[in-house]
Amino acid sequence: MAVAVAVVRGSVVGLCYGPGVSEQPLVRARGLVKRFGDFVAVDGIDLEVARGEAFGFLGPNGAGKSSTMRMIGCVSMPTSGELRVLGMDPVREGPRIRARLGVCPQLDNLDPDLNVRENLTTYARYFGLSRARARARAEELLEFAQLQDRAASRVEPLSGGMKRRLTIARAMVNEPDLVLLDEPTTGLDPQARHLLWERLFRLKQGGTTLVLTTHYMDEAEQLCDRLVVMDGGRIVAEGSPRSLIETYSTPEVVELRFADEADHSGKLAGIGRVDPLPDRVLLYADDGDAAVAEVHRRGLAPSSVLVRRSSLEDVFLQLTGRTLVD
């Protein structure tokens, strides 16, 4: 009898404290872990992504970004911890969740033997769209991807940027609640990247929730409202790009290069935080020009001086002691 009462009370408690439908986060992780044998890819992370947010995972290769994305995409099962996507459990309700996700994987998986339009319509059919609806949706997405004039072209000869745009357009085919982009611009030339960013920015403006991974600082700064910095499977910092820079860096950074191999850190002490790298010395300062003046006043003669805005790269360096791009 006592057991029965406990069960009833348990369910009532569940109802009372269940998350409200309106404000529940689209993604919620608590102590999320992914192990492959002995290797710990994701080592107990907590995060929440709200509706309408552009959320980023920033980190080097092997930081656990893609593993986390694959768990959110319900194609990889968590080893332990709690994960809710769109309020559902990925282990039990994978297909229902995937029906409302858009996924742009790191490796293109377009059908190379189908043409551009057929790639969109075929994918639309996987989501249960009628033929007529699939064709209409394909036309809308061709325009979004700026591929109208390539609609009848096979995928194989398209440029890398076009393929990426098509993959992203394909991910939008079911009008998803949440779009997952795993390194959307890796391997693209600068022009193609900017075009892609512009498209993603349009999605964001339209209210689409984006979750993306990147190892490009400029990408994270361009696209993300909020991001987590990952390293070795853990989250080492979280915040908006601006707040991370404010917390872990200074507004400006001076890059000094010296012709000689000598260690100049001692002479630089007191001007700002000094970070000697193999090829240059970073000097963190609120006012870069004033710092440079002080360097010269102390009689140092660097062979080159660069004053720049602080970036997430500096944040990453400060947090992990390593540069992000090898």
Partner 1 sequence: MVRPVVAVLERHLLLYRRLWRASVFSAVVLPVLFLVSIGVGVGRHVGEVGGVGYLAWIAPGVMASTAFQVAVGESTYTVLGGFKWGRGYHAMRAAPVEVRDMVAGWLLYVLFRVEVAVVVFLGVTGAFGALRSPWAVAAPVVAALVALAAAAPVTAFAASIDHDSYFALLFRFVMIPSTLFAGVFFPVEQLPQVVRPLAYASPLWHGVELSRAATLGVAPPWPVWAHVGCLLVFFVAGVVWAVAAFGKRLQD
Binding residues for partner 1, rule: CB under 8 A, are: 36, 70, 73, 75-77, 95-96, 98-99, 101, 103, 105, 107-114, 118, 122-123, 125-130, 174
3-state secondary structure of 235: strand
Give whichever of 88 and 300 is closer to partner 1, judged by the CB atom.
Answer: 88
Rounded to a whole number of angstroms, the minimum distance from the CB of residue 128 to partner 1 is 4
256-275 burial code (b ≥16 CB/10 A, e <16): bebeeeeebeeebeebbebb
To the nearest whole angstrom, how small is the minimum distance from the Cβ of residue 72 to partner 1?
11
Query: Which residue, 51 or 100, is less far from partner 1 as judged by CB?
Result: 100
Which is nearer to partner 1, 100 or 267 (by Cβ)?
100
Nearer to partner 1 by C-beta: 79 or 311? 79
Query: Based on the number of CB atoms within 10 Å of its own CB, is 252 exposed (0-12), middle (13-18) or buried (19 or more)?
Result: buried
Q: Which is nearer to partner 1, 155 or 317 (CB)?
A: 155
Q: How far is the CB of 100 from partner 1 (least distance, A)?
A: 9
Residue 5: C-alpha distances to residues 1, 11, 18, 173 (Å): 6, 10, 20, 47
Task: Pick the closer one to partner 1 by CB: 123 or 316.
Answer: 123
- If the CB atoms of residues 113 and 198 are measured against partner 1, the closer one turns out to be 113
- For the bound state, the minimum distance from the C-beta of residue 112 to partner 1, rounded and expressed in Å, comes to 6
Tokens of 258: 């010296």
Which has the closest alpha carbon to 218: 192, 187, 194, 250?
194
Over the Cα atoms of the chain, what is R_g? 24
The answer to whether the CB of 262 falls within 8 A of the CB of 92 is no
Residue 150 C-beta: closest distance to partner 1, Å: 17
- Min dist CB 322 to partner 1, Å, is 27
Give the ranges where the chain is alpha helix by DSSP (H). 2-17, 65-72, 90-98, 116-126, 131-144, 160-171, 190-205, 217-223, 241-248, 265-268, 288-297, 312-320
Q: How far is the CB of 174 from partner 1 (least distance, A)?
A: 8
Query: Within a 13 Å sphere around the CA of 79, how many CA atoms are in the beta-carbon half?
Result: 15
